[in-house]
């Protein structure tokens, strides 16, 4: 296996000097090393296509950029790759992790895993499949191809080729001073001591039988462990889509309550949903964001939410109310206030990055769909 440190130093040795992307747990050690880099810092992108754009700019600026992404993000960045990188000829090394490799993975990765090499072929992006003993030759090949073709090239990273779990995540230690938004006199939010599990228990109690759309990742699993209910729709893929589904449901049933349990990384991937909700103003929508300031599900890489007031963005986007809370009493109060007045309401719930030991969601996607739809129809 290749260690995260060896991978990072190999990239630097081969001249790569700019790193951006969206995290995947298969390369959490590599990301932890890159996050600490001082010469070539890692730029946390909110979406993979944004990372492709950032890499294009870095190349114009004289850098040799690397975009790190899960193969799900290849889907997110198809258009940026086709009509930016490939059309103009803007070199970048795409390090693409191969979830769903050989059909063995969680359901959301199976189809994408099966078609990943074909997606790269269709895009005409040359690629190699990284093996434990091929790092040096693959990186040399990637550097040569990028320069010769003036095009992006890719390294596909199957599971168990790069080590994980050996490098401490660099993320946001609570002791670090929190950045203040430039030009803002506002004090940054206090560091929260409330775990997401505690916050989820309070929220699930307050909302009663209302349907909940959960963002993907650990948030589903923790909510499932607190209280599994047919009105809970667990997103086991489609990062960023929970509030979009929530908006559709809330508009379809305007007199009813619809709740979204979102994550900071999830919301940032689909930030444009805030003005969509603000414009449509569905009165029954309650959008909660459990903000641990990291991509917890993929190894605690810092998310940009640390330096932005997401509640202020929601207020500016036209929500009827938008508040930030960081302790159980304030959360309970905010939920009851929101449930008593017409929305849409936004509650930013600051939580710790602690993750509870919780099982995976045991249901198939079709079972989740059917029980959720039946619960909605019966309500």
Query: Which residues sit at the interface with ligand TPP, rule CB under 6 A?
Result: 22-24, 48, 70, 72-73, 76, 215-219, 239, 263-266, 292, 294-298, 303
Could you give the count of Cα atoms lying within 13 Å of 52 in the half-sphere of its Cβ?
28
Nearer to ligand TPP, 91 or 296 (CB): 296
Q: Tell me how many degrees the CA angle 324-209-256 measures, rounded to the nearest 5.
A: 80
Q: Rounded CA gap, 287 and 280, in Å?
A: 14
Cβ-based neighbour number of residue 39 at 10 Å: 6
CB of 266 to ligand TPP, least distance (A): 3
CB of 372 to ligand TPP, least distance (A): 20
Residue the block writes with tokens 């309500």 = 379
Nearer to ligand TPP, 193 or 375 (CB): 193
CB of 128 to ligand TPP, least distance (A): 22
Q: Write out 202-214 in H/E/C secondary structure.
A: HHHHHHCCCCEEE
Nearer to ligand TPP, 135 or 310 (CB): 310
Cβ-based neighbour number of residue 42 at 10 Å: 24
Nearer to ligand TPP, 266 or 321 (CB): 266
Nearer to ligand TPP, 65 or 217 (CB): 217
CB of 147 to ligand TPP, least distance (A): 28
CB of 170 to ligand TPP, least distance (A): 15
| 32, 44 Cβ separation under 8 angstroms | no
CB of 183 to ligand TPP, least distance (A): 26
Nearer to ligand TPP, 302 or 323 (CB): 302
How long, in residues, is the chain? 379
Nearer to ligand TPP, 22 or 146 (CB): 22
- Give 44's strand partners: 21
Cβ-based neighbour number of residue 315 at 10 Å: 17
Which alpha helices (DSSP H) does the chain contain, by range?
Answer: 4-13, 28-36, 48-60, 71-76, 78-80, 87-88, 107-123, 135-149, 196-207, 218-226, 242-252, 264-269, 273-280, 310-317, 328-340, 365-378
- Closest CB to ligand TPP belongs to which residue? 263
CB of 377 to ligand TPP, least distance (A): 29
CB of 46 to ligand TPP, least distance (A): 10
| 304, 44 Cβ separation under 8 angstroms | yes
Q: Rounded CA gap, 55 and 35, in Å?
A: 16
Nearer to ligand TPP, 76 or 85 (CB): 76
């Amino acid at each position: 296996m290749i260690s995260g440190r060896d991978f990072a130093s190999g990239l630097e040795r081969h001249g790569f000097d700019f790193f951006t992307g969206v995290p995947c747990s298969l390369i959490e050690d590599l990301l932890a090393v890159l996050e600490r880099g001082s010469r070539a810092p890692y730029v946390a992108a909110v979406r993979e296509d944004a990372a492709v754009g950032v890499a294009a700019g870095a190349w114009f600026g004289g850098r040799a950029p690397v975009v790190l992404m899960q193969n799900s993000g290849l889907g997110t960045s198809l258009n940026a790759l086709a009509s930016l990188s490939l059309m103009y000829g803007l070199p970048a090394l795409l390090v693409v992790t191969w979830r769903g490799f050989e059909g063995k993975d969680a359901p959301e990765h199976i189809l994408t895993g099966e078609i990943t090499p074909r997606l790269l072929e269709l895009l005409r992006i040359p690629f190699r499949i990284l093996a434990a003993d091929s790092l040096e030759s693959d990186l040399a090949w990637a550097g040569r191809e990028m320069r010769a073709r003036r095009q992006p090239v890719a390294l596909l990273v199957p599971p168990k080729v790069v080590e994980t779990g050996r490098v401490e995540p660099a993320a946001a230690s609570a002791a670090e001073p929190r950045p203040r938004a430039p030009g803002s006199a506002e004090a940054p939010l206090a560091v929260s001591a409330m775990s997401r599990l505690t916050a989820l228990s309070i929220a699930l109690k307050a909302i009663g039988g209302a349907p909940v759309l959960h963002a993907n990742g650990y948030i589903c699993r923790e909510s499932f462990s607190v209280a599994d209910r047919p009105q809970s729709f667990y997103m086991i893929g489609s990062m960023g889509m929970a509030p979009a589904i929530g908006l559709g449901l809330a508009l379809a049933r305007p007199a009813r309550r619809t709740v979204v349990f979102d994550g900071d990384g999830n919301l940032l991937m689909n930030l444009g949903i805030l003005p969509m909700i603000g414009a449509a103003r569905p009165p029954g929508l309650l959008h909660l964001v459990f903000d641990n300031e990291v991509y917890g599900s993929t190894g605690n890489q810092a998310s940009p939410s640390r330096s932005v007031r997401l509640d202020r963005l929601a207020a500016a986007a036209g929500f009827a109310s938008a508040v930030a809370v960081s302790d159980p009493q304030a959360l309970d109060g905010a939920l009851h206030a929101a449930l008593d007045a017409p929305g849409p309401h936004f509650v930013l719930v600051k939580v710790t990055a602690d993750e509870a030991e919780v099982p995976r969601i045991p249901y198939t996607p079709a079972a989740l769909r059917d029980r959720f739809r039946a619960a909605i129809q019966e309500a």
